Amino acid sequence: MTAVASTGFEYVLRLGDDRLVLGHRLSEWCGHAPILEEDIALANIALDLIGQATLLLGLAGKIEGTGRDADALAYLRDAIDFRNALLVELPKGDFGVTIVRQLFFSVFALLQAEALQRSSNGELAGIAAKAVKELRYHVRHTADWVLKLGGGTDESHRRTQTAVDDLWRYTGELFLGDDIDRAAAASGLGVDPSTLEKPWQTTVRDVLGRAGLTIPESPYMQRGGRTGRHTEHLGHMLTEMQILARSHPGASW
Amino acid sequence: MANETSTSRTDTSTATAGDSQWPLWEVFVQPPGGEPHEHAGSVHAVDAESALQNARDVYARRGEAVNIWVVRSSQITASTPEDMGPFFDPGNDKPYRHPQFYKVPRGIRM
């Protein structure tokens, strides 16, 4: 693999892994959401993300050029080889945690997809155009929920505020932007995530503000996911997600 | 989600309070191609925006819709089963309501 191909592979892998891991986390709500309508809504969002991940990992495999397809990348890698941000691998927590995380990620992913529609890679631009429509709805749905939970009962407000306090320190990693991101941006393939932070802050602060929620003061931000240093939670999640594919290699149904 | 529709003048949003704290909304979906809105079912939601989102997720996920209406079930006034006779009697004894006496001119396709 040439250096250019390797950069492209790593870059697209990050996009795919964010969506695969968060899609799986969301799917854990299936049958457990607070009300049937929301159960269906969360499953729909999870499926959107897993659909995006399938396309992105397929593209990553193609760029890598060693014959790995989306299934091989999703099911046959260990935690250390995953490139998702830490935010998306954290346990689903209560409904407040799930919704706040989903808002944080959806706003980020929408900005990213809007920019990626102009990617020099036609396939990536096409995937992004499809994702934009889905992500706009994800932002609308989760922002609406944050407003309701933040302005709801004392308990819903307290839980949602706790979720913001706990998750905020994982948002910085989304915008870090390292050599791979900069190289991907320079080649026209990708977008440097650091350019997305300002509009993300504007949107998220607006929603949290209207919901009566405050942003924690601490400037400390967690990082590591983009280079394979994950929390313990990812390994447990992958065990469950990958067991079928690993127990029955090559099975189809 | 409950699939019952309002069949009486009672407030169905309170009638179904047993399975949800949230009010019931009736969902009308307009299929592509300019067809009129059709009743698709109902959803629970705390307000109109949530009702629209839930309706979208439950009834319009696979491209069946170009437009959705939601309306509080309690706002629907419906005829009752007792109305069956007086409301819907086809009036077979009133043949003038049925235009079957007209001869259709040749060349007109029905």
Task: Give the domain CATH number at B50.
Answer: 3.10.20.520
Which structural domain, as residue segments, surrounds residue B47?
12-80
Quick: pLDDT tens for A131-187.
999 999 999 999 999 999 999 999 999 999 999 999 999 999 999 999 999 999 999
Domain-embedded: residue B7: no
Share of chain A above pLDDT 70, in %: 98
Domains, chain A: 3-247 (1.20.1260.10)
Domain-embedded: residue B29: yes
- Which residues in chain B are contacts of A141 at CB distance < 8 A? 53
Interface size A-B, in CB pairs within 8 Å, comes to 30
What pLDDT, on a 0 to 100 scale, did the predictor assign at position B13? 44
Domain-embedded: residue B33: yes
Say whether residue B89 is in contact with chain A using an 8 A CB cutoff.
Answer: no
Min Cα–Cα distance to chain B from A22, Å: 19
Interface test with A, best of B54, B59, B61, B70 (most A CBs within 10 A): B54
Report the residue of chain B nearest A42, measured CA to CA: B57
Domain-embedded: residue B19: yes
Owner of token pair 């935010």: A87
Domain-embedded: residue B102: no
Taken in order A112, A118, A124, A127, the sign of the CA dihedral is positive
Domain-embedded: residue B108: no
ipTM of this model?
A: 0.75
What pLDDT, on a 0 to 100 scale, did the predictor assign at position A164? 98
What pLDDT, on a 0 to 100 scale, did the predictor assign at position B5? 42
Say whether residue A153 is in contact with chain B using an 8 A CB cutoff.
Answer: no
pTM: 0.85
Domain-embedded: residue B51: yes
* pLDDT band at residue B16 using 50, 70 and 90 as cut-offs: very low
Quick: pLDDT tens for A95-122.
999 999 999 999 999 999 999 999 999 9
CA atoms within a 13 Å half-sphere pointing along the CA-CB vector of A188? 7
User: How many domains in chain B?
Assistant: 1
**Residue A39 CB neighbour total at 10 angstroms:** 17
Domain-embedded: residue B89: no
Residues A237/A25, Cβ–Cβ less than 8 Å: yes
Cα(A65)–Cα(A88) distance, integer angstroms: 27
